[in-house]
Amino acid sequence: MRQNPTLFIQSPSDRNMFVLFMVILLSSISVNLVTPIWIFYVSSLGASIVELGYISGIPSAVTAFVNILGGSLSDKYGRRKLNVIGTLFGVFPPLLYIFAKNWVELIPWVILSGLATGLSLPVRWSIVADSSTDRKRAMTFGWMNIAFLLGSTFAPFVGGFTADALGIRSTFVLCSVFMSSCLIFSLLLKESRKPPTHQPVIDSNRGETRQFLTLVFIILALNVIQATGIGIYIPITPKFIERQFKATYTDAGILYAIGFGLSSMVVQIPGGRLATRYSRKKIVLITIVLSAPFFGFFALSRSFLECVILMFISNVILNLSWPAYQDLTMSLTPPARRGFMNGVSATSFWIGMTIGSTISGILWENFSMFLPYYMSAVMVLLSALPFLSLKEHNRKAQP
């Protein structure tokens, strides 16, 4: 009987990948239900555009602080425990948001949300790297990205529609329900970390240590710069389409569902195939350069439909490189330090998101509603510079 090589449910490791697929999917649904309505809810509690940037930046800052710690702890104590703890913490904030009487009362709960993300996010991607071979890693990352993007595609629409139909607080209840389901699947995950046969140090060879630290710096710089651009773009966009085109909660959900979720999902398998055939470094660089202008073009949209199209194009191009980036990063990282590296990657991303979220409202209120989008395009383009110095190994020489 011929087996389909793209399906991963044919061994204990494959079954673990299926459970992880469900964990990532349910977590993504939970988080993205709130995406289109968050800015409106915080605004209804009295926050200005600048204060909205602050409240969006706080959980990003907490996540950034915790990511490396969570990844490093998973290298030492195992992936499963950290993922369960982080997921458990994530169940409660959506319910607690409902009882806030002003935006300041949201702060403790967004901190808890950031802690939950920081503990669980790098661990999940480390499980992918632990459980896949060099040959299949890019495609496996592609499938797991699809799990995340399925949630990003359908959940914003459902969240916006639920808010319009049942009230904005009902979306937070639904968010908590899906995170509780994610916790159940997290408990079913098997440990993927293989105990080291020797003391896990980076490497006693100074040359290899320097090479690894150079990789850490490159990944950190790329993510901080690019995520700053993305962080500028995301928090203000629902307000932008509301002011320009009288958009509803449902419209905001449609924008994120199609412009980010669907656009990114359809390119993951093609991106995985490209990453197995061509230079992963070149794929990342080309997609950054080609996508950057479309982040700025968004400000020139003349209709809601043009907003959807421009966001769709920017994310189709940029996110085509996700499997290549993930595969290249993990292939250059010693197995005993994959949790740490995923922590570095996630931390640097959330640092950038914190910076971008914080300054987006300042740019909007003190200059114009269009300037944040032009700055976003510049930052995304500049993120290609650190990656130019990365040395990609010849995969033919690898086992």
Per-residue pLDDT band at 7 (split at 50, 70, 90) = very low
Per-residue pLDDT band at 399 (split at 50, 70, 90) = very low
CA atoms of 65 and 151, how far apart (whole Å): 25
Contact 356, 227 (CB under 8 A): yes
Output the pLDDT for position 207: 60
Q: Please, is 396 exposed, middle or buried when counting C-beta atoms within 10 Å of its C-beta (0-12, 13-18, 19+)? A: exposed
pTM exceeding 0.85: no
For the chain, give the mean pLDDT.
83
pLDDT greater than 80 at residue 56: no
Token pair 């949630």: residue: 151
Q: Hey, what are 113's tokens?
A: 């949300």
Output the pLDDT for position 373: 94
pLDDT greater than 90 at residue 143: no
CA atoms of 269 and 267, how far apart (whole Å): 6
Q: Hey, what are 80's tokens?
A: 């499963």
Output the pLDDT for position 6: 42
Output the pLDDT for position 138: 73
Per-residue pLDDT band at 394 (split at 50, 70, 90) = low
Per-residue pLDDT band at 10 (split at 50, 70, 90) = very low
> Which range in 13-22, 97-106, 264-273 is most confidently predicted, on average pLDDT?
97-106
Reference 149, options 32, 253, 252; nearest CA is 32
Domains assigned to the chain:
13-190+206-397 (1.20.1250.20)
Output the pLDDT for position 1: 34
3-state secondary structure 176-219: HHHHHHHHHHHHHCCCCCCCCCCCCCCCCCHHHHHHHHHHHHHH
Q: What is the mean pLDDT of residues 343-357?
A: 83
pLDDT greater than 70 at residue 108: yes
Output the pLDDT for position 13: 60
Output the DSSP codes for 334-371: -GGGHHHHHHHHHHHHHHHHHHHHHHHHHHHHHT-SSH
Output the pLDDT for position 47: 84
Q: Which residues of 332-341 are buried (b: 16+ CB within 10 A; e: fewer)?
A: bbeebbbbbb
Q: What is the mean pLDDT of residues 147-154?
A: 81
Output the pLDDT for position 195: 59
Q: Hey, what are 240's tokens?
A: 């932008």
Measured over the CA atoms of residue 236, residue 241, residue 247 and residue 250, the dihedral's sign is negative
> Which range in 79-93, 185-199, 254-268, 306-320 is most confidently predicted, on average pLDDT?
306-320
pLDDT greater than 60 at residue 371: yes
Output the pLDDT for position 293: 95
CA atoms of 362 and 86, how far apart (whole Å): 32
pLDDT greater than 60 at residue 260: yes
Higher pLDDT, 226 or 335: 226
Q: What is the mean pLDDT of residues 323-344?
A: 80
CA atoms of 83 and 342, how far apart (whole Å): 13
- For 64-103, the pLDDT digits (tens) are 778 777 777 777 777 888 889 889 999 999 999 999 999 9
User: CB within 8 A of 103, min separation 6: which ones?
Assistant: 42, 45, 46, 47, 51, 55
Per-residue pLDDT band at 329 (split at 50, 70, 90) = confident
pLDDT greater than 80 at residue 20: yes
User: CB within 8 A of 102, min separation 6: which ones?
Assistant: 45, 46
Output the pLDDT for position 194: 65
Q: Hey, what are 32's tokens?
A: 């993205």
CA atoms of 384 and 263, how far apart (whole Å): 21
Q: Hey, what are 79's tokens?
A: 């992936």
Higher pLDDT, 261 or 8: 261
pLDDT greater than 70 at residue 2: no
Contact 320, 280 (CB under 8 A): no
Output the pLDDT for position 199: 47
Output the pLDDT for position 396: 47
CA atoms of 275 and 179, how far apart (whole Å): 32
Output the pLDDT for position 370: 93
Instruction: Please state which of the ranges 3-12, 28-37, 254-263, 292-301 shows the lowest mean pLDDT.
Output: 3-12
Q: What is the mean pLDDT of residues 338-362?
A: 82
Tell me, what DSSP letter sits at residue 5? T
pLDDT greater than 90 at residue 172: yes
